[in-house]
Amino acid sequence: MASTSGRRLAVLSLTALGIVYGDIGTSPLYAIRESLQPAHGLPVSAANVLGVLSCIVWSLIIVISIKYLGYILRADDHGEGGILALASLATPMDTGASRSRRGLVLLGLAGTALLYGDGAITPAISVLSAVEGLAVATPVFTPYVIPITLGILIALFLAQHHGTGRVGGVFGPIVVLWLLTLATLGIAQLIRQPAALAALDPRHAMAFFSANGSRAFIVLGSVFLVVTGGEALYADLGHFGTRPIRLAWFGLALPALLLNYFGQGALLLETPEAIRNPFYLMVPAWALYPVVGLATAATVVASQALISGAYSLTLQAVRLGCLPRMRIEHTSDREKGQIYIPAVNRFLMVACLALVVGFGSSAALASAYGVAVTTTMVITTVLFHAVARTRWGWSRWHAGVLTAAFLAIDLAFFGANLLKIPDGGWFPIAVGSAILALMLIWRRGRRGLAAKLRGRDLPPEAFAASLAHGMPTRVPGVAVFLIREPDVTPPALLHNLKHNRVLHEHVLLLTVVTEGGPT
């Protein structure tokens, strides 16, 4: 039994690598390049390289390792993660402060809506940044970067109906190979220039902000690119569970990422001119084409993290009555969270293709990336505080200190990313606002309809008693009526009796209850 459980944990951890850590795992393709781009007005000096590198390292440790894997993942709603699950936990139905509850629900809906905007950007920027490596190898490929990217994205979305389990089973080994490649490239550079390891000292980050002031604050918007996958990681909790996600991160993903970022820093300490594309310029000439191919495959995996997260959030929104019901296909007979939603898939595909064509490069897309995720991260921290106080019974001091620490970092990233709005950050905000409006309108309409119907509610017992005063004509056959609440006669049954004046010989009232596991 123990060996079977161990094998299952290993398989889930491998699959989690393929689904959950694709986004974070491909950030080395562009994060350092964007953080030290000439537009920021900072020279690629040793002090600035170590300062930016220190910010990146400690962002991964604090935001992903401590905040999300250490604390946020604890907040699961019957195994489901994501900001809607967190909002559901933070707002129990028996709470007395209805105004406070409405505010928390609104925050959860806003965070969910914003993730759809960034969910469209992630596949576009990830795949585009990888394919751009072909142009680094030879300018001959430059005109073909956009068409190749579009073809890859179309193939990715068309493969979604196979399910995250099967897709992740293929993607897992790819990400393992990718992370090992990241680590190898980083180690090779560190051997030549081990001084980059000094960035482990957080004083380099403090000195960077002290020396550069507002320009360092602007750079923080690009540093944030290394942790954009945090919310998708939490949203994918229902697909795999907590243990596989943590094991995959601390066992392979985090060490490989740190080594590669240190390696890029080492390259820039030695050759500042490599800032035009430090990742690919770190690759030996003989390995460039294989690494471009592997990077492209890995960025397809990165796209899967946001796509899977969008499916999970949509399912939760539908169950909470915040979105219209839509076709939801369960693609696994073991994991209830592994689903496929055709409508969401089509929306994301169209949005991704439009972004690639509209922005044209990963550098341009980086300006649109992060605004929505930082907003969602701030909301997640606020909701986490509510869960810690109301669900876990934490003291005000315990919850307050931890929340304040998380908020200090979240708000710094949030402020830096607000500067991106004129350059493309408006896109995820526009998408999020439209989806939030849809959620609020649908939710209000459902409540209004329910309130109107509630005045006509008739208990099944009262309905049966009324038949004794005038039995309608009985017709042969069986009639099945779906009901949400067992103590209310379904309106469809009453309308059938009123207009058709008949009642079937056998009438079944059916309530569907979703179990938490296979039966």
Q: CA nearest 166: which of 58, 15, 294?
A: 15
Q: Between residues 343 and 82, which one has the greater pLDDT?
A: 343
pLDDT tens for each residue of 177-194: 999 999 999 999 999 999
Q: Between residues 515 and 142, which one has the greater pLDDT?
A: 142
Whether the per-residue pLDDT at 457 is higher than 90: the answer is: no
Whether the per-residue pLDDT at 417 is higher than 50: the answer is: yes
Q: Within a 13 Å sphere around the CA of 14, how many CA atoms are in the beta-carbon half? A: 17
pLDDT tens for each residue of 329-388: 877 666 666 788 899 999 999 999 999 999 988 888 888 888 888 998 999 999 999 999
- pLDDT for residue 154: 93
pLDDT tens for each residue of 122-137: 888 888 988 888 887 7
- pLDDT for residue 347: 92
The mean pLDDT of 92-104, rounded to a whole number, is 63
- pLDDT for residue 4: 60
Residue 12 and residue 165: Cα distance in Å, rounded? 9
- pLDDT for residue 121: 86
Q: Please write down the HEC assignment for all residues of 240-269.
A: HCHHHHHHHHHHHHHHHHHHHHHHHHHHHH
Whether the per-residue pLDDT at 95 is higher than 50: the answer is: no
- pLDDT for residue 181: 96
Q: CATH classification of 15-444, choosing from 3.30.530.20, 3.40.1450.10, 1.20.1740.10, 3.40.50.300?
A: 1.20.1740.10
Q: Where in the chain is the domain with CATH 1.20.1740.10?
A: 15-444
- pLDDT for residue 519: 44
Whether the per-residue pLDDT at 517 is higher than 60: the answer is: no
- pLDDT for residue 78: 73
- pLDDT for residue 257: 96
pLDDT tens for each residue of 217-240: 999 999 999 998 888 788 777 667
Average pLDDT of the chain, as a whole number: 85
Q: CA nearest 375: which of 125, 118, 25?
A: 118
Give 286-354 as a DSSP string.
GGHHHHHHHHHHHHHHHHHHHHHHHHHHHHHHHHTTSS-----EE--SS-TT-EE-HHHHHHHHHHHHH
- pLDDT for residue 518: 47
Whether the per-residue pLDDT at 328 is higher than 50: the answer is: yes
